[in-house]
């Protein structure tokens, strides 16, 4: 039996090295198993190096965070923003509150009121049907 296993191993080795593929089922199954173990794709060395460099850069940023300034956020204009707010009564007794960073013009206010009134009217129809 040992001799039979040696012959099977020799046939498999020859087939793996590119020689003729034997027709016996044991060697074919062994070849299929060996094919299942081989990777489906090769690794691109340039992408591996690029990934390594990006990971190391992120690691170094985590180890050495940027220094924060004591005056961070001052004089950047963010604390000076005015929020414009207007309240409007809708025709059916509803109340619309419109807030914006920009100046609210009467045209924009009227347009927003019309859109809100249309939405409320559609919802009222849905509830009655």
Angle CA 98–104–110, to nearest 5: 70
Asked if pLDDT for residue 21 goes beyond 80, the answer is no
Least confident span in 19-23, 44-48, 85-89, 100-104 = 19-23
pTM reported for the whole predicted model: 0.34
pLDDT tens-digit readout, 51-76: 999 999 999 998 888 887 777 666 66
| Residues of the domain holding 101 | 82-128
The token pair at 78 is 């963010």
Alpha helices in 1-129 (DSSP H): 2-16, 25-37, 45-63, 106-128
- In a domain, residue 73? The reply is no
CB contact at 8 A, 53 and 60: no
- Specify the pLDDT at position 1: 45
- Whole-Å CA distances, 1 to 5, 30, 61: 6, 18, 63
Question: Under a CB-based contact definition with an 8 Å cutoff, are residues 96 and 90 in contact?
Answer: yes
Q: Considering the domain boundaries, does residue 106 fall inside one?
A: yes
Residue 70 lies in a domain: no
């Amino acid at each position: 039996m040992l001799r039979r296993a040696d012959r099977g191993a020799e046939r498999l080795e020859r087939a793996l090295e590119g020689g003729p593929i034997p027709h016996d089922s044991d060697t074919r199954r062994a070849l299929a198993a060996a094919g299942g173990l081989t990777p489906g794709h090769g690794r691109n060395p340039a992408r591996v190096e690029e990934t390594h460099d990006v990971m190391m850069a992120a690691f170094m940023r985590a180890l050495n965070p940027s220094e924060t300034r004591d005056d961070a956020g001052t004089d950047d204009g963010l604390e000076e923003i005015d929020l414009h707010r207007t309240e409007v009564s809708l025709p059916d007794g509803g109340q619309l509150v419109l807030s914006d960073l920009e100046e609210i013009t009467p045209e924009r206010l009227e347009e927003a009121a019309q859109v809100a009134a249309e939405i409320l009217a559609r919802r009222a129809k849905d509830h009655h049907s």
